[in-house]
Structure 1
């Protein structure tokens, strides 16, 4: 294990796991924490989660740090099987930050909360001296109500289950890169969006859904690895079934990136019983925001604990967790 923190420790991949497992979990013991879910269930009734946001630029095509701070926490609750209800909002400001920018960010928080039907009920502000805060950082925590008859967890996954993504892969990370570097003239947009419109379908199919996650840092490939690592099952995804925006794919080709490791901030990965996958995906696609949803693969036992990628030409390779810092500070 490295002796000092690097940017790669924040990418959601291998080094992030090392910090969590070898430092945090090793020191702070607790069954709930060790479940390693983005939102935890308390007393089998309530969901609770927290997240911090350090993205730059603070304003980007498709959103800003305020919208992102609500979406990130709301989506962790939804993918944790909960109906979001309440948020906290803590803001760390750097001396010299413009009040007008802060006002715009807070307006975005309000708009996104209204869309998600959640309320900000507590918060905090701090100011740090110039040169020590990158303008603004935000932390949000969220509380939600657990959806009945929904039991999520890796142990529920079985061979024959289907893997679903609710839309195009990698939009957020690639668009933020282009925004920073002033590339492609704003042609790409972040998918930053609350996932609350999925809640009625999650309720309807609750007994068939095995696990859910929003593929943020580390992207789809890293998230899928978290589902099967150290288990006797594997996941096979197929290239021709992956919904990837042509402009995102083109940008990835130019910059030598893989969209499967690029973050989303408005998509969900859902593993569901294969017997209902077709009808479930059709209902998901009937929601305009998720019209590009797709079944991208299945659970099997081909390679224990691995995620397998099958190309349209018949080749096969193993997808591991993200090991380097492809795009720092994207959320």
Structure 2
């Protein structure tokens, strides 16, 4: 008979014995059960028919629970969206947990449940995992690493070096909301503002966009460092300039207010459910129409264009017609979310 879990995780739950078995049975197997989930040393899986994409990412967000999500949902969205950016349909995920001794069992249950629900939205399955428990103070509640495998869509070629002069620059919704939500959740500044994370898995709207416009050139996930950092990465990789229209950049009023008080630039705040997409200008409306049908990307819009001018720089055109260089991101981006 499987042992019942106590109210808090102990070091014994990472020791590999009956307590570990109880943890796996009572939480992870309960939510992650599927025909491919293995109790053996590795999952044996059907091979996709086309090329695969593979990505891995670690999640150490503090606090682990924030308005609009938690680290479990975030861990699935992050890896799913990384595969999506390559035009790969997410198929399989593995996950590894580093759990701090003393974490409330109920919180771990919420995290696993959020992971299962988010994976189900996309149709991706968790097939293998690992659990370690470390002593008090050696982790901040829980850290998660996820690795994903996806199957590349036929005819899609996406890369940061593919942006071309004349291309349209789109963003799939308002920017900076996740970073702002995490900042406020820490309650460091005593600011009372209602901001929820934009955390979302975007495979379905992006696949619809790729069906409408298979010749999209670049898709990038605007996570740590936000949209501004992604734009500079693309400008450097493609050796092009990028011109943005300040009035076209969508920012939630609450996020704009917080940024105004703290002197932060929303373009450099993290997103967890926003993509930067670059494509031939004549395809922009097709992509906007396709993605607007999905709740998580209803705010998709064009914010700029790729230019030959000012190679490897991002220029912001203001409401009065003036142009200024968007500062290139420095060595430390605030708020640091991971």
Give me the TM-score of the superposition, normalised by structure 1.
0.83
Question: CA 1:329–1:90 in structure 2 vs 1: closer, same or farther (change >3 Å)?
Answer: farther
Question: Which range is displaced more, 197-206 or 106-115?
Answer: 197-206
Distance 1:283 1:324 in 2: 37
Counterpart position of 2:216: 209
Aligned-CA RMSD value: 1.8
Which of 111, 114, 121 is 1:108 aligned to? 114
Distance 2:74 2:316 in 1: 30
For residues 70-125 of structure 1, the C-alpha deviation after alignment (integer angstroms, 9 at most, x for no partner) is 00000111112110011001000111211111111111111111111111001101
| Structure whose CA Rg is larger | 2
Question: Which range is displaced more, 176-185 or 128-137?
Answer: 176-185
Which of 223, 238, 241 is 1:234 aligned to? 241
Contact 1:157–1:211 (CA<8 Å) still a contact in 2? Answer: yes
Alpha-carbon deviation of 1:186?
A: 5.5
Tell whether 2:336 aligns with 1:319.
no
Contact 1:83–1:199 (CA<8 Å) still a contact in 2? Answer: no
Distance 1:156 1:44 in 2: 22
Alpha-carbon deviation of 1:281?
A: 1.2
Distance 2:239 2:161 in 1: 10
Counterpart position of 2:154: 148
Which of 156, 175, 189 is 2:181 aligned to? 175
Is the partner of 1:142 in helix, strand or coil? strand
Distance 2:184 2:60 in 1: 17
Counterpart position of 2:165: 159
Distance 1:281 1:127 in 2: 45
Distance 1:198 1:99 in 2: 35
Give me the TM-score of the superposition, normalised by structure 2.
0.82
Which of 49, 57, 60 is 2:66 aligned to? 60
Tell whether 2:273 aligns with 1:266.
yes
For residues 212-259 of structure 1, the C-alpha deviation after alignment (integer angstroms, 9 at most, x for no partner) is 011011111110011111654211010111111111111100111100
Alpha-carbon deviation of 1:283?
A: 2.4
For residues 196-217 of structure 1, the C-alpha deviation after alignment (integer angstroms, 9 at most, x for no partner) is 2224323314532001011011
Which of 82, 87, 96 is 2:102 aligned to? 96
Structure 2, unpaired ranges of 5+: 1-47
Tell whether 2:77 aligns with 1:71.
yes
Contact 2:209–2:290 (CA<8 Å) still a contact in 1? Answer: no
For residues 3-30 of structure 1, the C-alpha deviation after alignment (integer angstroms, 9 at most, x for no partner) is xxxxxxxxxxxxxxxxxxxxxxxxxxxx
Determine which structure has greater relative contact order: mean sequence separation of CA pairs < 8 Å that are 6+ residues apart, divided by chain length: 1
Question: CA 1:83–1:272 in structure 2 vs 1: closer, same or farther (change >3 Å)?
Answer: same
Counterpart position of 2:207: 200
Alpha-carbon deviation of 1:156?
A: 2.4
Contact 1:168–1:292 (CA<8 Å) still a contact in 2? Answer: yes
Alpha-carbon deviation of 1:320?
A: 3.8
